[in-house]
Amino acid sequence: MAFPHMQQPSFLLASLKSDSINKPFAQRCQDLVKVIEDFPAKELHAIFPWLVESIFGSLDGILVGWNLRCLQGRVSPVEYSIAMEFLDPGGPMMKLVYKLQAEDYKFDFPVSYLPGPVKASIQERVLPDSPLYHNKVQFPPTGGLSLNLALNPFEYYMFFFALSLITQKPLPGALHIRTSDCAYFILVDRYLSWFLPTEGSVLPPLSSSPGGPSPSPAPRTPAMPFASYGLHHTSLLKRHISHQTSVNADPASHEIWRSETLLQVFVEMWLHHYSLEMYQKMQSPHAKESFTPTEEHVLVVRLLLKHLHAFSNSLKPEQVSPSAHSHATSPLEEFKRAAIPRFVQQKLYLFLQHCFGHWPLDASFRAVLEMWLSYLQPWRYAPEKQAQSSDGQARCVSERWAPFVQENLLLYTKLFVGFLSRALRTDLVSPKNALMVFRVAKVFAQPNLAEMIQKGEQLFLEPELVIPHRQHRLFTAPTFTGSFLSSWPPAVTDTSFKVKSHVYSLEGQDCKYTPMFGPEVRTLVLRLAQLITQAKQTAKSISDQCGESTAGRPFLSWLGFYSSDTNSSYPANDLDEMGQDSVRKTDEYLEKALEYLCQMFRLNEAQLTQLTLALGTTQDENGKKQLPDCIVGEDGLILTPLGRYQIINGLRKFDIEYQGDSELQPIRSYEIASLVRLLFRLSSTINHRNNIFEMSE
């Protein structure tokens, strides 16, 4: 077959498009493997954009592609096996990527499909902070409207792969699919393990041709300068797009360009949907959400965070400390140290802030919660994992993690306050909600963690006068010559600066910090403790009522027409459906959560008892709940904010009784109205006839 000139329509592309309609999936993949092996890069260049789109779907979500997010091995084992083999990091598709990479081909990617803050920045002619976009913006010709990025094949492939998690809408039947069983989730895990290896100091060798392994070609313009690792580029240092300049990176950094690119693409596409300015605007109750993450999205991000912790923790012991760094350190080892603080921290914080503030108050928040808790516990993914003590209690969190806690202070403290705000608005009688409170309390109550958080807060609140020479350094970029840390002040001053720099970079210089162990948060914790006590009492009351009513249910209960308690003060919740086991679980979760909160905030039994009595959480002698919290006004009782909260969450209820003719009570919501009316007429007719018969006698 004669290869057509690149300017002519590609006959190969037309043939493959036809095959995609007429041939079965397995045959198409076999043909693609042969095409990738046999055809030159010149021909493959023409089919690459179409092939990527046919696999991952179109950016507008109209074309589904291979539907990797729903493809499961146990449902479609043949298709699953073929797809995973084709897209494997060492498979045919990646060989195609490197074959094109060697020829320095570029592919246009529309800016309009990038995350909101990035798109807005580029459209305003301001270069985004991430090095991923540097030297890639293509201005439209005169009169043109669209902006594009010129991406190399590896970048183009990863952009589509990462964005397919967001752009592709799940099919109707996908609601019951377990995310961790899907091809997409497993591919993410494989790519992370391949390009961010936790063992060794170099990436696995790759082959761009069947003839044997060859070094993967690096892009002509590296993703970022190697020497810039470890820096936080402040958003105040905006660079104009017209000043895009090429960077001369250390040649050694070419070794890990794929690792850099993969991480930056995943972080940008999955996390960079909110900027500090956008987050501040979103605090308005009338603000419209620009992007709403899904539970599946959050689960994939959690997978990324867990792997990044394992990746960073695989640093050799002598290289963990920046002071131990030497020029002999491999680029991959240096990248391990910088990956989380340089690329992930800020975008993850804003992403979590949005989720905490806008996620529905239901059990699906568990996915966000576990993602957050995974990030807060890097020691869980260290080679030497935290062991349990002999009495079953968790061991102390080692002091080696103090720098991580201090340099991620807001992700511990401010997000904990955000969780408290959510917990105070949820129904803690639900076992799923009780479990979430238990999980957070258990993590934060790990021995020595609270002390490290307090130390971080003390460092941040340290008066600025103690270290006056620091002020200008918050907004200037240090030089790249020599060791970035070598000329810094002594240890305590250095640590204090890091904590302040972290907080200011995430919240702005004028942020108002609320200490986690200050009086305001302590008050919220006491309120939560009070609600936990109420929820335990409510669960016990529901359990008692269910036990009393089960034995004497009438015949109609078999048909589903009967309520367990016609005058119940408690709304339906998952306790009603799950029975006594759920009551027991709820009680256990809440009991342990209360114990952990008391440990963290040094609450004693006397304080809890006093608070409980003050807020009227005790029960009456007969076990029924008291009235909602009220004050006496001129026109009678007036609900307080606490009382309104109690009614909304079903914790208390006014006793409303029907005092008219008992036979003319309103039809209940759990009754069948037509049947009630029919039976009422029947009984009325019988009674009427009996009365006439008695009168005639």
**477: pLDDT strictly greater than 60:** no
Q: List pLDDT tens digits, range 595-624.
A: 999 999 998 877 777 666 655 544 444 444
Question: Looking at residue 588, what is its pLDDT?
Answer: 93
Question: Looking at residue 316, what is its pLDDT?
Answer: 76
Question: Looking at residue 76, what is its pLDDT?
Answer: 93
Dihedral of CA atoms 262, 404, 273, 98 in degrees, nearest 10, equals 0
Residue that the structure tokens 């302040």 belong to: 500
Question: Looking at residue 695, what is its pLDDT?
Answer: 59
DSSP 665-678: PPPPTTS-HHHHHH
- Domain map of the chain by residue range? 406-477+486-550+564-626, 662-696
Q: How confident is the model at residue 370 (pLDDT cuts 50, 70, 90)?
A: very high
Burial 563-574 (b: 16+ CB within 10 A, else e): bbeeebbbeebe
* Pairwise pLDDT comparison (538 vs 221), residue with the higher score: 538
How many helices (H) and strands (E) would you count in the chain? 25, 7
Q: How confident is the model at residue 482 (pLDDT cuts 50, 70, 90)?
A: very low
Backbone angles phi, psi at 481, to 5 degrees: -90, 135
Residue 611 near residue 525, CB atoms below 8 Å: no
Cα distance between residue 296 and residue 383, in whole Å: 28
Residue 69: closest CA among 168, 163, 159: 168
Cα distance between residue 398 and residue 581, in whole Å: 37
Question: What's the whole-model pTM score?
Answer: 0.78
Q: List pLDDT tens digits, range 69-94.
A: 999 999 999 999 999 999 999 999 99
Cα Rg of the chain (Å, integer): 31
Q: Which helix (H) or strand (E) holds 632?
A: strand 630-633
**208: pLDDT strictly greater than 50:** no
Least confident of 116-120, 165-169, 241-245, 257-261: 241-245
Distance of CA 427 to the CA centre of its chain: 22
Cα distance between residue 339 and residue 313, in whole Å: 11
Q: List pLDDT tens digits, range 83-129.
A: 999 999 999 999 999 999 999 899 999 999 999 999 999 988 888 88
Span 217-233, average pLDDT: 46
The 10 Å Cβ neighbour count of residue 250 is 14
Cα distance between residue 329 and residue 634, in whole Å: 77
Question: Looking at residue 615, what is its pLDDT?
Answer: 52
Q: How far is CA 280 from CA 154, 242, 355, 521, 630, in A?
A: 35, 29, 14, 21, 35
DSSP 452-512: HHHHHHHHHHS-GGGSGGGGGGGGSPPPSSS-TTTT---HHHHHHHHHHHHHHHHH-TT--
Residue 161: closest CA among 109, 209, 116: 109
274 DSSP assignment: -
**4: pLDDT strictly greater than 60:** no
Residue 89: closest CA among 235, 250, 253, 259: 259
